[in-house]
Structure 1
Amino acid sequence: MTDETTILAAGCVLWRRSPVHGELEICLVHRPKYDDWSHPKGKLKPGEDALTGALREVGEETGYAATPGAVLPTLGYVTGGRPKEVRYWAAEATQGHFTPNREVDRVLWLTPSAARHRLTQPRDRDLVGALLSALHLA
């Protein structure tokens, strides 16, 4: 699904252990432009490696540094009449804090079940299960 018209993007299913009770939490971002909840992701810069772009987007959208883990499924869909391919990785949040910005005005750290319900796009929900499998929790 890649050619010169395909929009290339990358992102992460960002996770951490709750600082309160130690349970797995997944970070979702709210983008006011679309009024949606999604995993942090974005378009790659020209010549940018997908994993580098995914980690850059996590930092820009959430304020967190992350350690990448397993490769997760790539999602393909059409947006604005063009095909888009988004490569994903599991990534553990290591340090940082969220500051609202132009692209993302809120983040939520949710249990996997709550994250599945909050995600706007059904295609993003399967990534939660893929993360749990990658972490050997499913």
Structure 2
Amino acid sequence: MSNNGTAVLAAGCVLWRRSPGAGGPEIALVHRPKYDDWSHPKGKLKRGEEARAAAVREVAEETGMDCRLGPELSTVYYEANGRPKEVRYWAAEACGGAFVPNDEVDRLAWLSPAEARDRLTQDRDRPLVDALMDALHPVPAPPTGP
């Protein structure tokens, strides 16, 4: 699905932090009361807005967190309200801020990768957890040569 003028373009992040206790990564999920769902922070691009800037803005709006963007993870395609939607996601490390509930997002949960995978409402969001883990812990290349 490409942007043929009808696709809704959006951007978001798989927001993570180092666990204060275990040291492993924790992933932030947001609860949207309008849809009663758990998802990664994301939202539509504003007119003329670059996707990376939109991803950072959406994290700030939905979680109250400042973040440092890492690698782009993947693009998720689906239909929303009868229109194709294209959401580009980045890995993003939280680097400060505080969550304040609002009309759009009433809860924020920091979860282990396994808990995040289980809590996500949409199946299409689960592979993003694995993509983040791969980005944080790349598999070493096999040795080459004798």
CA deviations on 1:41-73 (whole Å, 9 max, x unpaired) are: 000000000000000000000000000001111
Judged with a 3 Å threshold, the aligned counterparts in structure 2 of structure 1 residues 53 and 85 are, in CA distance, closer, same or farther, namely same
Q: Distance in 2 between matches of 1:21 and 1:79?
A: 38
| Code of the aligned partner of 1:97 | A
| Code of the aligned partner of 2:55 | A
Q: What's the counterpart of residue 135 of structure 1? A: 136
1:89 CA drift (Å): 0.1
- Between Structure 1 and Structure 2, whose CA radius of gyration is higher? 2
1:68 matched to 2:61? The reply is no
Q: Distance in 1 between matches of 2:8 and 2:43?
A: 10
Q: What's the counterpart of residue 98 of structure 1? A: 99
Q: What's the counterpart of residue 40 of structure 1? A: 41
Q: Distance in 2 between matches of 1:86 and 1:94?
A: 23
1:75 CA drift (Å): 0.3
Q: Distance in 1 between matches of 2:92 and 2:24?
A: 16
Residue 114 of structure 1: SS of its match in structure 2?
A: helix
Q: 1:47-58 maps to which residues of 2 (within 5 A)?
A: 47-58=48-59
1:124 matched to 2:122? The reply is no
Q: Distance in 1 between matches of 2:132 and 2:113?
A: 9
Q: What's the counterpart of residue 28 of structure 1? A: 29
Q: Distance in 2 between matches of 1:132 and 1:18?
A: 14
Q: TM-score, normalised on structure 1?
A: 0.97
| Superposed CA RMSD | 0.9
1:87 matched to 2:66? The reply is no
CA deviations on 1:80-129 (whole Å, 9 max, x unpaired) are: 11000000000000000100011000000000000000000000000000
Unaligned runs of 5+ in 2: 140-146
1:23 CA drift (Å): 2.0
Residue 103 of structure 1: SS of its match in structure 2?
A: coil
Q: Distance in 1 between matches of 2:8 and 2:88?
A: 11
Identity fraction in percent: 64
Aligned residues: 138
31-40 vs 15-24, which moves further: 15-24
Unaligned runs of 5+ in 1: none
| Code of the aligned partner of 1:117 | D
1:20 CA drift (Å): 2.7
